[in-house]
Structures are given as structure tokens and as C-alpha cells.
Amino acid sequence: MNPICRHCSKSKVNRPRGLCWSCYYTPGVKELFPSTSKYARRGVGNFTGSAPLPAAPTTAAPGSPEKLAVLEQRAKMKQAIFHPADARYEGDPRPLEFLKGHSAATAGMACVA
């Protein structure tokens, strides 16, 4: 049994994603069908490009359920997974110092404007 194209349902499959030659190279069609390869990148956060830093660091300790939830949220929003001021251990003061400095700098800029 020869598989038929997932898009046009007319031609034999001879390209990845279960598409025929014409459909695979038609602009926009390839993006409609996810890769069927077991080696394909899958999951949240697999995108091309540089990710912007998150707005604020997290105080959650590494490995905690709270930290994992933050990392998942950042990936969904296509932000960098880690912030330079994220807590590196439980009780790390680094995130709070960053937030204090950031709010003071923002308040100072607001007074100037």
C-alpha cells in the first residue's frame, strides 16, 4: 500500500511530513503539517532565534516545583529560560537585590521624565 499525500490526497508520498513533492514545496503547506521524524525537535521552547531576558528573576530554589513552573512559563512565552539574577540556592538574596535596584532605577527615570 502506497501512502497518499496528507495535503492534496492525490499523489504518492515522496517527501517528509507525509507530503508529495508539489505540496512540500508549495509555500505555506509544509508548515501546516508537523514533522513525523522521531528525531524532530518537539516540545515547548524549540524555536530559532535569540530569546529576550525575562522581566524579573525568580526567588524559587533550583529544582523546586515553583522553579520548574517558572521555567515552563518562560519557555511558553519564548523568553530566555534563565535570568542572570535567578536564585542559585534557597534563600539566595540575588533576585531581591536585583528587584530593588531595578525598581529604584525605574523610579529615578520616572522622576527625570
Position 63 scores a pLDDT of: 92
Mean pLDDT on 2-21: 91
DSSP percent split of the chain into helix, strand, coil, nearest 5: 35, 5, 60
Is the pTM here over 0.75, yes or no? Answer: no
Summarised one tens digit per residue, pLDDT across range 100-111 is 887 766 554 444
Q: Is 15 helix (H, G, I), strand (E, B) or coil?
A: strand
Mean pLDDT of the chain: 83
Position 24 scores a pLDDT of: 92
Indicate if the pLDDT at residue 113 is higher than 50: no
- C-alpha–C-alpha distance, residues 110 and 113, integer Å: 5
Whole-number percent of the chain with pLDDT over 70: 82
